[in-house]
Chain A
Amino acid sequence: MFERFTKTAREVVLQAINVEAAALGARTVEAEHLLLALSQTIGVEHDTLIKALEAETAASLNAVGVSLRPHPSPSQTRQPRMGASAKIALHRALEMALARGDREIRAEHVALGVLAADVGTVPRALAIAGLDREGLAAKL
């Protein structure tokens, strides 16, 4: 699948796996880790996205009556596997590149794939942070 990805798009995926998901102690790489790796591509500060994701987790847990106390991150992390939401986002990136007649998958296509989801952690976090998901996608 990655043979059509540009160097930058590959770097985004590798950063999502080895930096973003790993830093959060995640077992799987999800769309939100791609989003974090794409912060420059979409023009939103990394820190803003981290805070948005934290707020989304707190809000979701709160909806079922669970309040989150800060919990230490594990000091020794594993190599995360690709998770379902990241796979869907990458698949969408491929479809969007094809639909646009582009031969290569660029970081912008990955960003479009991530931003296309209207349910899940990414759109919820962006909404909580007051970021316009469709507006961000339109600028790509």
Chain B
Amino acid sequence: MSALDGTQPKPEDALAAVGALRRLADRVEDDAVERALADGWTWLRIAEALGVTKQAVHQKHAKRLKEK
């Protein structure tokens, strides 16, 4: 990783990377929650695996996944 091997990315690249990482994390989470539910996971188990409260994960995903 460039930030760890001594070569620092330019601030504009690092700042853009933060946004890209957040968007990537959101997509990975959406997809993973969807597949966990399809596999029969409970909201509580998903929440524990994500390290957030059940309320948080439910609020973020339940409506989205019910609307289909």
Contact = CB atoms under 8 A, between A and B. Distances in A.
Interface of A: 25-27, 56-57, 59-61, 63-66, 68, 71-78, 119-121, 124
Given A71-B27, A74-B27, A76-B34, A65 B16 contact: no
A26 B25 CA distance: 11
Given A60-B17, A66-B1, 12 more contacts: A25-B27, A26-B26, A59-B13, A61-B17, A63-B10, A63-B14, A64-B1, A64-B2, A64-B21, A71-B31, A76-B34, A78-B63
A61 B4 contact: no
B68 A63 contact: no
Contact of A77 (B12, B28, B64): B64
Interface string B43-68: 00000000000000000000111011
B1 A121 contact: no
Interface residues of B, number: 29
A60 B30 contact: no
A61 B20 contact: yes
Given A74-B34, A75-B34, A76-B67, A64 B14 contact: yes
For the complex of A and B, 8 pairs with smallest distance between CB atoms:
A65-B1, A63-B13, A74-B30, A60-B16, A78-B64, A63-B9, A64-B17, A60-B20
A65 B6 CA distance: 12
B7 to A, nearest CB: 10
Contact of A63 (B17, B34, B64): B17
B65 to A, nearest CB: 5
Contact of A27 (B19, B26, B63): B26
